Amino acid sequence: MRFAYARIMQETNALSPVVTTLHDFESAHYLTGDALATAVGPGGYELAGFFKKAELAGFVDGVRKHAPGALTVPLLSAWASSSGPLTRACFDTLRERLTDGLRAQRARGLDGVYLCIHGAMGVEGVRDPETQLLRDAREAAGGVPVVTTHDLHGNLTRERVAAADAIVAYGTNPHRDHARVGRKAAELLAGITAGKLRPATAWRSLPLLLGGGRTIDFLPPMRAVFRRMRAAERKGECVAASTFMVHPWNDDPALGWSTIVHTNDDQAAADRLAEELAQMCWERRHEQPPTFAAPSDAIAQARKARLRRKVGVVTMADASDVVTAGAPGDSTHLLRALLEDGGDLVTYAAVRDPDAIETLWPHAPGDEVRLEVGGKLDPTSSTPLPVRGNVVSKHQLVGFLRVVVLAVDHLRLVITEGPAMVMKPSFYTDVGLDIWKADVVVVKNFFPFLLFFLPYNRKTIFVRTRGVTDFDAAYRLAFDGPMHPRDAVDDWRPRDRARRAP
């Protein structure tokens, strides 16, 4: 047996004007062939800086366990930061590299393909591009079984479900079971190719954009849904169950939360569980995501938290400019407020501005500079901010590319050429900033930072300004009908039936 595996993964925010290019993948994470096999093998590091073992390492482990003696064939692994849609050229190139690799392997015999994709990737001018990837992969591999895993913010479509033999999503939010879903993919693919598993698939699609409160898997109101899925798998009610709490800034009109269940040849059982999970989600629709503080409130709250600042830091999440949800990372709203009003708070913040990097790069540490930062990549969300400060240090880092740290009064401003994905303390410590010396640290992430900043963080404040990751910013997208909570929707079932109908 020979199983090929590949990853093409990016989460697209359809509202972001910053398109994603091949360079964004190749400068962030791009591995092929032997280098990929090493990265996912024992002692390797699959996603440098993020996960030692993620889906592909899990898959290789899973094949070893569920199909002893089978060979795993590394094709490619390409990952880019969340951002705007892929350019057509970027998508076509990645797709060709994938299909060329599969065709070359097919000549030597292929029994199955595992494709790790996000589920909410968008491409300029292409509807549902990941379904196309799945179809092309199957065709290039000669019609063999194809199993795929998704981030649980993916969107299921009828075509998507038809294009794969099985779809499995993360069962955690914040996500921390990447390797588990890879192992599950191996288990399913091994079962299918050995003839022991005949997947019966049932899925449901809800006209539900936002619900489930904070959507954390181990907290109410979503905890019961995730427990139900794991219990069903444990008890053998199904072989895999997934719930998608969709990425809301996706421009597929048939957008919404969804559930998918695979059983071994028992369609009725699959339908029952998919329906039950969908109904559980629908019952949680009125629990909306929290509302966030305005910058002035956030600064006042941070100022009041004197003791907490003494023993750690206040973390502000710039919720309107969340880079890990596809925002450009160049918003100046919070920076402006911090400069005008937060003078007593030592603050670390970040902004993406490739133009400013061009201006700053020739300067040496200590140089005084005057320039405008931010507000250029997405001029509809914020405007450039004039600053005067001193260059502290310059760096070249994987993913962030060229980085300049600027001291502007009480602010240490980390200006990046690449995506300003501020989720971990290392974003600041790698450029020489000591977290313990800050009063306030700004992140551009929704929830995982809570885990990473745990040693330092004494108070968390989510700040809302205006940007493409505002939850209600998604309301301006076009949907295939009324969408909760933007519109009144009494019953999810009619739309589900329409979306699933051939």
Measuring CA to CA, which residue among 146, 128, 149, 125 is closest to residue 137? 146
Does 496 contact Zn ion by CB under 5 A?
A: no
CB of 285 vs Zn ion, minimal distance in Å: 19
Least Å distance between CB 442 and Zn ion? 21
Contact between 177 and Zn ion (CB under 5 A)?
no
Closer to Zn ion by CB, 3 or 449: give it: 449
Alpha-carbon distance values, 178 to 93, 185, 224, 259, 464 (Å) = 26, 11, 21, 18, 30
Q: How far is the CB of 152 from Zn ion (least distance, A)?
A: 6
Nearer Cβ to Zn ion (86/401): 86
> Pattern 272-311, binding to Zn ion, x per CB under 5 A?
----------------------------------------
Nearer to Zn ion, 10 or 131 (CB): 10
DSSP state, residue 471: G
Residue 167 in 3-state DSSP?
strand
Tell me how far, at minimum, the Cβ of 217 lies from Zn ion, in Å.
Answer: 11
Euclidean distance between CA atoms 435 and 425, whole angstroms:
7
User: H helices then E strands: how many in the chain?
Assistant: 16, 17
User: Is 86 within 8 Å of 20 (Cβ atoms)?
Assistant: yes
- Enumerate residues 182-201 that contact Zn ion by CB under 5 A: none
CB of 149 to Zn ion, least distance (A): 12
Choice between 66 and 284, CB closer to Zn ion: 284
Record the tokens describing residue 358, joined without a space.
């061009």
- With CB atoms as reference, the residue minimizing the distance to Zn ion is 153
SS3 441: strand
Please state whether beta strands 112-117 and 2-9 pair in parallel, antiparallel, or not at all (unpaired).
Answer: parallel
Nearer to Zn ion, 174 or 312 (CB): 174
* Three-class SS state of 190: helix
* 82 or 105: CB nearest Zn ion: 82
Site for Zn ion in 10-29 (CB under 5 A): none
Cα(367)–Cα(438) distance, integer angstroms: 23
Q: At 231, which helix (H) or strand (E)?
A: helix 223-234
Q: For residues 387 and 371, give the distance between their C-alpha atoms in angstroms, rounded to a whole number.
A: 6
Number of amino acids touching Zn ion (CB under 5 A): 2
Residue among 121 and 350 whose Cβ is closer to Zn ion: 121
Sign for the pseudo-dihedral over CA of 219, 224, 227, 233: negative
Q: Which is nearer to Zn ion, 151 or 266 (CB)?
A: 151
Of 290 and 386, nearer to Zn ion (C-beta) is 290
Please state the closest distance from residue 469 (CB atom) to Zn ion, in A.
13
Nearest approach, Cβ of residue 120 and Zn ion (Å): 8
For residues 2 and 143, give the distance between their C-alpha atoms in angstroms, rounded to a whole number.
14
| Shortest distance in whole angstroms from residue 173 CB to Zn ion | 7
Q: Which stretch binds Zn ion (CB under 5 A): 153-161, 322-330, 361-369, 425-433?
A: 153-161
| Least Cβ distance, residue 175 to Zn ion (angstroms) | 6
Residues 356-415 close enough to bind Zn ion by CB under 5 A: none
Strand duo 258-264 + 240-244: pairing: antiparallel
Closer to Zn ion by CB, 62 or 171: give it. 171
Supply the minimum distance, in Å, between the C-beta of residue 118 and Zn ion. Answer: 8
Are 315 and 435 contacting, i.e. CB atoms less than 8 angstroms apart? no
The dihedral formed by the CA atoms of 420, 54, 256 and 224, expressed in degrees to the nearest 10: -120
Does the footprint of Zn ion cover residue 153 (CB under 5 A)? yes
- CA 440, CA 411: separation in Å to the nearest integer? 10
The three-state secondary structure class of 227 is helix
Query: Which residue, among 301, 309, 334, has the nearest Cα to 444 in the 3D structure?
Result: 334
Which 132-151 positions form the footprint of Zn ion (CB under 5 A)? 151
Residues that bind Zn ion (CB under 5 A): 151, 153
